Each structure stands twice: as C-alpha cells, then as structure tokens.
Amino acid sequence: MKRTPSFLILLLSCRMSVTSEEDSTGICSLGWRSKQHGKPWSTSLAIGVGLLCLPFFQGTFVGSLSASPLGKPLAEKSFVAAAVARSGPAVVTVDTQRTVRSRSSRSLPPGLLMDPALERFFGMRGLGTPRSRIERGQGSGVIFSVDGLVLTNAHVVEKMDRLTVGLSDGRRFSGRVVGQDSLTDLAVVRLDGPGPWPTAPMGDSDQLSVGDWAIAVGNPFGLENTVTLGIISNLNRNVSQLGISGKRLDLIQTDAAINPGNSGGPLLNANGEVIGINTLVRSGPGAGLGFAIPINRARTIAKQLVERGRASHPVVGISLSRVPSSEPGGAVLPGAMIRYVAPGGPAEIGGLREGDVIISIGRKPMDDPAAVVTAINRHGVGKPLSFGIRRKKRILEFLIKPIEMNKIGTR
C-alpha cells in the first residue's frame, strides 16, 4: 500500500481546520474569519499552505536548474563547439597584397612629362611622375587536402601580387594560386611549407534540407576564428536572382551571419563537415542574407583547377528566358524559352531554334532557365544530352553535345 505524502496530509489538515468553528486553535487553523464580513481570509490560507509546502517546492525548483526537461543533465558544451573543434583548425586567414600604379591618361612620353616646366605649360601638373600604392585585403579559406591545398573565393586572390596564409595555431606561410575561376568565384591556393596540414572533413551538399543547421566560420573584419550560427534558408538559389550577371552559381542561402572577410571560409553542418564555401552577403535592405557555394560543386571545380589549372564550363550556345504566359497577367509557365541560338554552336547544329521551349533535359523536367544551366553543367562536355522541346504544339527530342564555353565563338 502506497503512503500518502506528508505535504498532502498537511494540506488536508489545513482544509479541515478552516471549515471548523471559529475558536479552533489547531496549528493549521489558518482560516481566521473577518470581523466585518465573516469570511475566511484566503490570503492567510495561501501563505500558510505555501510555508508548509516550501521544502517540497524548493527541492523541485533547485533540481530543475540542473536537469533538462527530459530529466537528463544539460550538456556543458553545445554541438557548435564540437563541430568547430572538428574543422576549425583547417580554417585559415588569407592576407593579400598588390601594388596599384597610377597611369597618365595623356599620350606624351614619360620622360617628357618629368620636366616640371613642360608640366606647367601643358597644364598637367602632378601627372608626370608615376605613382603607386599598396592595396591590402583579407579573406578566409579552408584546407581541404593534406598536400596543403586551400579552397577560397576567386575574388579574394584575383590580381594579387602576394598571398600570406595564417593558420589557427599561429603559423603563417606564403601561398600561390594554383588556379581560379571567376564564373564560379572559386580558387585553389597551395601553401609553401613542409606541413603537416590540418584538413576539414567534406560533407555532401546534395543531402541538405531547408532548416538544417548552418555554422559559418571565418575572419570577418579581421576578427580571426569568428563563428556564427543559423540555418539553411534556401537551396539552389540562382545568382541571377540577386541581380548578379556573368556568374554560373546556384547558392545555399543561410541566415548565419556572413560579413566582409568571411569570403572563402567554410559553411559547416552540425557534424562539423564543410557543406559550402561562403561567398556573398546581402547588405542594406534584406540584410542578414548570406550565400555559399555548395561543396559538391566546389570540389568538382577545385579538382579541375588542380589538374588543369582551369575549370570546365559546358555550353550549347543558347540564351534563355522564362516562358511567358499565354494570357496577360497569367502565371509564368514552366520551362525555358530559347531567345538566341549562336551560329555554328551545338544547339544550332543539333536543330534547336529560337522560340523553342525546353521542357526537359535528360528526360528530367525543367522548371526555369537556371535549371537548364545546372543540368548542362552537371552533364559535362563532349557527351550527347537529350533535350525535350515544345515547338508550337509538337513535342520533339534532340541530342545536343555541349562544348567548352571558350570554344563557342571559334567554331
């Protein structure tokens, strides 16, 4: 038989005393009556019950501070700390330097402009002596190979004369660019030193879902080893949606803070694996939006840069737009309309025409022009690719063989 807790017995005793006669003098007789109204004072009763039950609630409250809602002790460290400990040593600072020389806009010989009298005569004071200045910048990167290869953004190292890479343990080494690709904003830098080099584990960006944890690591504003936390806000965000042209990127969108100096640093998942390379941040209206290049795409480009010094960009020689609605004000239709076909390009040779609508590639439906570009990129160069086309009311299929972008105007 279970015993009734003592605090419940006290509560029952209080209740019995309250309902007894006015001259009851028991220890729990807290229901004193008001002389004016003849009713028990509920406030006095509450205070009495609270005092009697204080030891019980005190133990419960103190115990709740040291336990989670599931009854387990709270962890002293978060999963973020464990994730950063796994990849943090491979995150580096990339310090850049270049010399910028000012040039005269006049066509007179440099030796002639060195004469001060002639400068005054021609009204070109200050243009005779060439001037130069040192520009310095900083970005981030991540070591992905035991050979000392660093993955970073192309815009971090582009046109730079000198690179210095700093590791989290304080070591600093010179670096040289193995290859860079402006279309995907990726570059690979090789460290000049004996190592050993810490490396970060690579994740699988194709397995990401909206709402997954995202951890950005880098050196914003020169503040080394800065970590911010957020979630994956969107996947396959085409760079053209951000008003940026001349790039071939489908980006991961995150609300983890990415600031100037974070460029080239890794975006990690909850396990500390690299799932992206931070590249863009939206400032001004809509601030708080950060973007990263998916690591699967980055690894493909990095491999090409290391092996060949350049990246491969398959094209078929077409310009695309969204499919307009057949009715004014109607919804945009799925697919991609061909607006231009390059003369002599694979698309023209294969039979595509202006006005055709691409509805599938490799028999996979295409929602918009960005999906078409992504499908061609993933397919590669030199292998036939099937295009499903809607031409007026007919559905046709063509085999097109993509070529390198730099060859599209030479055929």
> What residues are labeled active site?
155, 185, 263
What's the per-residue H, E or C state across the chain? CCCCCHHHHHHHHHHHHHCCCCCCCCCCCCCCECCCCCCECHHHHHHHHHHHHHHHHHHHHHHHHCCCCCCCCCCCCCHHHHHHHHHHHHEEEEEEEEEEEECCCCCCCHHHHCCHHHHHHHCCCCCCCCEEEEEEEEEEEEEEECCCEEEECHHHHCCCCEEEEECCCCCEEEEEEEEEECCCCEEEEEEECCCCCCCCCECCHHHCCCCCEEEEEECHHHCCCEEEEEEEEEEEEEHHHHCCCCCCCEEEEECCCCCCCCCCCEEECCCCCEEEEEEEEECCCCCCEEEEEEHHHHHHHHHHHHHHCCCCCEECCEEEEEECCCCCCCCCEEEEEEEEECCCCHHHHHCCCCCCEEEEECCEECCCHHHHHHHHHHHCCCCCEEEEEEECCEEEEEEECCEEHHHCCCC
- Provide CB contacts within 8 A for 120, sequence distance 6+: none
b/e burial code for range 216-254 (CB count within 10 A of at least 16 → b): bbbbbeeeeebbbbbebbebebbbbebeeeebbbbbbbb
118: β partners: none
How far are the Cα atoms of 155, 359, 407 from residue 369, in angstroms, in the given order? 26, 10, 22
Residue bearing tokens 């520009």: 135
Structure tokens that stand for 303 in this block: 């491999």
Q: What are phi and psi of 167, to 5 degrees?
A: -90, 165
